[in-house]
Structure 1
């Protein structure tokens, strides 16, 4: 078998995707910590949250706090698992949580629009990185 034939049969490792997976794990950890702080702040009825008036997806601020708190803890667990080269379950759950987090932050958009857009962009990158490097496990041969 020639070198070229062997290369076509084996999918080459992508350094960008492998590094992206590690970076996605770090981003999930940081995002989870920030979501926990947002949740605690919302549960405590902190003054930093603006009243919205008549908003279609308006929930009680305490409900938003609990959503962010629980989602933040789950995101931290998955981010830590990704950093430890967890099996494919961490990738599947990471993609699902990032997709759910996009929806949550879209609905949360009127409360803190700039941060919500940043989190949505981060989650899109996380989904790309986890899907792009599917089957490539750095450090495992």
Structure 2
């Protein structure tokens, strides 16, 4: 869609944002999600593809690319979400780099709508308990 009619894509995304929807560029760093999209598209956040996140624990170049991409997103006024987060060492590194949000199996495997409702209720209770029993920090992971 974006490749076939970029002007229409920009217009539609702009209208979606004007009614209060956030627009994310998914799988950033792969396929058609290029730096040109950062310049030309009215987006709010980048979702950094898991192919950059997974190897960063053992690969300094991968970690540097993630850190640099987070800096690039922030300097462009965008939020960034790390996809494919599966262990706490990655969360710690992403936190140091200033990543805004993360998604992946560390937080939850895919669930049905009913399971999601139960998970959210349990999470809300855990956060309320944590807030009342200690210093609570807003944590977006």
Same-fold status (TM-score > 0.5): no
TM-score, normalisation: structure 2:
0.29
Structure ranking higher in strand proportion: 2
TM-score, normalisation: structure 1:
0.29
